[in-house]
Amino acid sequence: MDKVQEILKNLKQNHIIEYMKTLSHSEIEKLNEQLERLDLSVININGKEEKRGKFSPLLAVTLDEITHNKEKFTDIGLDAIRKRKIGAILLAGGQGSRLGFEKPKGAFNIGVNREIYIFECLINNLLEVTEKAGVYVPLFVMTSIENNQETKDFFREHNYFGYSKENIWFFVQEQLPAVDTDGKLMLAEKDRILTAPNGNGGWYASMEKTGMLEIVRDLGIEWLNVFAVDNVLQRIADPCFIGAVIDSGKVSGAKVVAKAAPDEKVGVLCLEDNKPSIVEYYEMTEEMLKSRQSDGTLSYNYGVILNYLFRVDKLNSTLSVKLPLHRAFKKVKYMDTSENVHNPEEPNAYKFETLALDMVKLQENCLAYEVDRRKEFAPVKNKKGIDSVESARELLKLNGIEL
């Protein structure tokens, strides 16, 4: 028995060994090659959450405090941008399965009477800053094997939405196998195991593997602003945010929004064993959910919106740390061993993902920076309802963006 077969057998993946018997020599070789490269050990992860430490509240710099210091923070931020110390990372490797859009999520047209794409909204927001600063912010776009070419083509066909092509780099994140509800490997094609992007926490490690960190070093970038593709109101390289974090002397910052209600289902920035951390809504006790500060605000009040600022030297020291892998149950197109292709309507497979929020836990401290959700938080996750195309359109209109 060869090495790959032995590994498959140990992992109770005999269905793949059996299936391989039906394939041609060249197909077996291709499958073997892929299996040798893949980290198959992840499929044993059962998704049981890691043991958590002691939580305590982390208060945010509030909207009022920010307004009061706006000029000072903005000046500090613009100065750092002008000195080219700030880089931006667009996380666009996700599969957007909830939206059910075949192309890269950023290529989605959020317009109604005209075409305006998600990528375009983000670049427009960034251009507002670069025009003010008079320099471009180096922008790194994380894609996946699946959407890399399409993403690059889309940017090129749209002339980089007016951004400077010389200041954009694309890099591909890594893949991990996905499994069905019985923990079994699945097929993507006749001679290819189904894999999925390894989550948004892998961005810094992927930047290293793809040579992007050399560019970061060569350009002298000291801070990286990492953000999700699907918040169309996102402020990128926001000078006021950058300035507030630098001024605070902290090594990282997170944009947060006040919860709409005490039981809103968002991850909340807090302290865990005195280190910055994010507690998920389902991990909070009744007491934590209800607890209030002396001024009446909720103690666990500030939800994260996937817009973080990290100091590069501190990120370097996290490269050797393995981030925890989480299981996410998602809709995934696959081929069964009789070679029928299925495009399920409901979640059918577990993906294994590292999360950007786990990088926050590796930082000594983090500035929670409050933003107005009506101005900066319009996530496009679903087709309809909450965090949907519809709700994002309403918020875009509210902010004067013509659709």
The answer to whether residue 91 forms part of the interface with ligand UTP (CB under 6 A) is yes
By the rule CB under 6 A, 200 interacts with ligand UTP: yes
The residues in 338-397 that bind ligand UTP, with binding defined as CB under 6 A, are 353, 381
Min dist CB 27 to ligand UTP, Å, is 28
Q: Does 92 bind ligand UTP (CB under 6 A)?
A: yes
Stretch that binds ligand UTP, among 21-29, 40-48, 96-104, 248-256 (CB under 6 A): 96-104
Rounded to a whole number of angstroms, the minimum distance from the CB of residue 388 to ligand UTP is 11
**Residues in contact with 383: Cβ distance below 8 Å, sequence separation at least 6, in sequence order:** 98, 99, 100, 389
| Amino acid symbol at 157 | E
Amino acid at the residue 222? E
Please identify, using beta-carbon distances, which residue of 4 and 371 lies nearer to ligand UTP.
Answer: 371
| 378 within 8 A of 232, measured Cβ to Cβ | yes
Q: Does position 197 bind ligand UTP by CB under 6 A?
A: yes
Surface-to-core class of residue 346, CB atoms within 10 Å of its CB (0-12 exposed, 13-18 middle, 19+ buried): exposed
By CB under 6 A, tell whether 325 contacts ligand UTP. Answer: no
**Binding residue (CB under 6 A) for ligand UTP from 16, 86, 142, 268:** 142
Ranges of H-type helices in 23-62: 25-37
DSSP category for residue 9: H
- Provide, rounded to whole angstroms, the least separation between the CB of residue 264 and ligand UTP: 17
CB of 131 to ligand UTP, least distance (A): 25
Which CB, 183 or 347, lies closer to ligand UTP? 347
Phi-psi group of 331: left, alpha or beta (phi > 0 → left; psi -120 to 50 → alpha; rest → beta): beta
Amino acid identity for residue 80 in this structure:
A
For ligand UTP, which stretch binds (CB under 6 A), given 195-203, 242-250, 272-280, 358-366? 195-203
User: Toward ligand UTP, which CB reaches closer, 31 or 172?
Assistant: 172
> What gap in Å lies between CA 235 and CA 382, rounded to an integer?
21
**Residue 97 identity:** S
Class of residue 37 by CB neighbours under 10 A (exposed 0-12, middle 13-18, buried 19+): exposed
**Binding footprint of ligand UTP on the chain (CB under 6 A):** 91-99, 105, 142, 173, 197-200, 228-230, 330, 353, 381
